[in-house]
Every structure is written in C-alpha cells, then in structure tokens.
Amino acid sequence: TNSDAMEVDTEAMESSMEFTQQGSMVYKGFKINQQGVQISPERDGQVSPFMLKDIKLLEVLGRGTSSVVKKGENTLTGEKMAVKILGTVYNPELRKALHSELKLLMPKLQETPSPYIVRVIDVFYPKEEDMIYIVLELCDAGSLNTAIKNSGKASEKVVSVVMRQIFLALAFLFDHGIQHRDIKPSNVLLTSHGAVKLSDFGSSKEDVNAETFCGTTRYMSPERLNGHEYTPKADVWSAGMVMLEMGFGDHPYHVCFGTDGSFVAMIEYATKYDTPQLDESYSDHARGFAGLCMAKKPEQRPTPGMLVRPENLGASHPFIAQHAQQGNQVVAEWIQQGVRKVGPLLSVAS
C-alpha cells in the first residue's frame, strides 16, 4: 500500500541519519552543520564561501505547514537570497523535503546545473536550534500562481516562453533520471526579468516508477489519479495543465466543470471528461501542444525533450519553435501588468 511505502521510506531515512559529537548531521552522504553542507568527507571546504551567521533574515515570503521561507541577505556581499527554514529534523516529511533539495547538490547535477531550476546555494544545520536552513536562489517576482491571479490570461507569446523554460527544466530532470512529481503554478517561480524556474522538489524522486501517491490532485494525470505507476509522462500532463491555466486565467476544471474540488471529482474530470481546450485566440500549434501534453494515455504523451529540443529550439514543437527567438521580456511585461493592478506581492513555494 501507499502507507507501507511511506513507512519504508521513513525507516530508511531514520537509519541513514547520524549526528556527530561536533554537532554535524550526516545524512544521505551529506554532512551538514552551522558552517554549511559538504557533499562527502573527501571533499574539502563547503558548497558556498559563507556561513549561516553571515545571512541576515528579512521579511517572510511564504509559509508551509512545517516551514517558512524568508528573504535573506548575505551581509558579506549584499546578495539577496531565499531561505527555507524547516522545523525539527525528526519530522519524516521534512526529512523527505530535505533529501529532495539536497539531491540538487549532487555532483552530477552541479557539473552542468540548469538555469531553469531554482539553485540550492547551501544548507545549514545549527544543532542548538534543531532547524534546517536551505539557502536558495531568490526569484524576486514570486510564483506563476500569483502572476496568473494578478495578471490574468496570458498571450500566446507569454505562454510559449514560460512553457519553453518549464520543459527545458523537465528535459534536464528527465536526462538525470529525476521526476518532479508536483508541477503546479505555485512551484514555478519567476524573476522580474521574466526568467522561469522550477522549485520545490519536496516530492521529487529518482525514476523508479514510483507508486507512492503525491502531487496536487488538480494537476495530476489520469493514471496517477487512478493509482497507477508514476513516470515522467505524468510531469508532462501537469505542465500541460499549467499551460491551460495560463490560457484560461484560472484553473481549467474550475472554468469548465464547476467548483467541486473533491478527489472523486478530480478523477471524473481527468479520466471521463473531454480535456479543456484553449480558445480561438490561441493558434492551432498552441492547442496542439496542450493536447499532446494532456493525452489521456501516458504512452501517447511525448517526453519533455521531444516537445522542446534543448540543443536546438528551432527543432522543437512549432508552438515553441515559432517563438524560439522571443526573449523573457514578454513574461516580465505580463508580470508587471499584475503588479500595476494589485501592487507587488511575492508568493514563494514552501
């Protein structure tokens, strides 16, 4: 059962966590203390050249059930960053989130990091506080969820540029055998320059056809809602749902089917109803791209790298290729529409 799988994960995490007399936490091959994180005992030095005491914590950017994200400033350099503060390390759910964030520090991902994934700068564990501080790249325009609420329906150019970057991130993860597992607008962060970055890898898992149940139901693929195995094709469906939400200016289920948000309703909408379609203001290429992402059967969905070609954007799906030369400025301008309407509002996934 899913609960059994969760128990096994918890036992494995507990057995892999050790605490040294010097106040370090050793976990999954990482050594973490108030000076930062080391990837292995053989590696000299820390991931970053600063320590936790060098970070000044500022205003709250977002809150989760057991975590808070604050804006931080490196007092040595003035660099702004986001700091995710996790509660006690003895909480199994928080340890899962920690493990997933740490995975992005693995050497194979650090050698050629993706600019489309929020960068993990360092991780700190001051033993006396029993808290974990995850220092992240700051995305100063908040989340795509906030942008949609503030700016409303996006133009085809904006949608194409956003989806291009989301799929470049997914292609990177796919190439490294990692699934995100919780693609939704609140986990897509934006910068004021229009850059788009995937965040919140608290649900991510290496590709082992996982059968644990995770992800936000409104963005889940039909096969996942029916309890079938998780593959990267489920991330493609979720990204397609994000695309539709940008095109509708609201979640497409809410617009097309009503306000029933129950789990049973989600299964009905995803498996038995026709998939919502973008309106006629969007091109056939745009509607075709969304249709491929949201094919009911996972085997009919392309992989991320089939839709967006990282090595040659011009060879991507026409919806991406025709806007391949379009820069991020159109996204920045769309974000600013909402800022002018409601004022600045940051919402960082936590």
Distinct helix (H) and strand (E) counts, the chain:
13, 13
How confident is the model at residue 3, as a pLDDT? Answer: 32
Q: Do domains 2-136 and 144-342 have the same CATH topology?
A: no
Query: In the CATH hierarchy, which top-level class contains the domain 2-136?
Result: alpha beta
- Which residue among the candidates 44, 130, 140, 182 is catalytic per the annotation? 182
For domain 144-342, is the CATH number 1.10.510.10? yes
Q: Is the pLDDT of residue 146 over 80?
A: yes
Helix residue ranges, H only, 104-192: 107-110, 144-151, 156-175
State the DSSP string of 273-333: SPPP---TTS-HHHHHHHHHHT-SSGGGSPPHHHHS-TT-GGGS-HHHHTTTT--THHHHH
What is the average pLDDT across 63-68? 77
Ranking 25-34, 47-56, 326-335 by mean pLDDT, the lowest is 25-34
Q: What is the pLDDT of residue 4?
A: 31
pTM: 0.81
Q: Taking 60 as the threshold, does the pLDDT of residue 218 lie above it?
A: yes
242 vs 98, more confident: 242
- Average of per-residue pLDDT across 94-98: 64
* Domain ranges, ordered by start, for the chain: 2-136, 144-342
CB 137 within 8 A of CB 118: yes
Residue 84 annotated as lining a ligand binding site: yes
pLDDT at 298 over 80: yes
Q: What is the pLDDT of residues 149-186, one digit of tens each?
A: 999 999 999 999 999 999 999 999 999 888 888 899 99
182 is catalytic: yes
pLDDT interval class at 9 (50, 70, 90): very low
Average pLDDT of the segment spanning 119-127: 82
Pick 292 or 94 by higher pLDDT: 292
Banded model confidence at residue 241, pLDDT cuts 50, 70, 90: very high
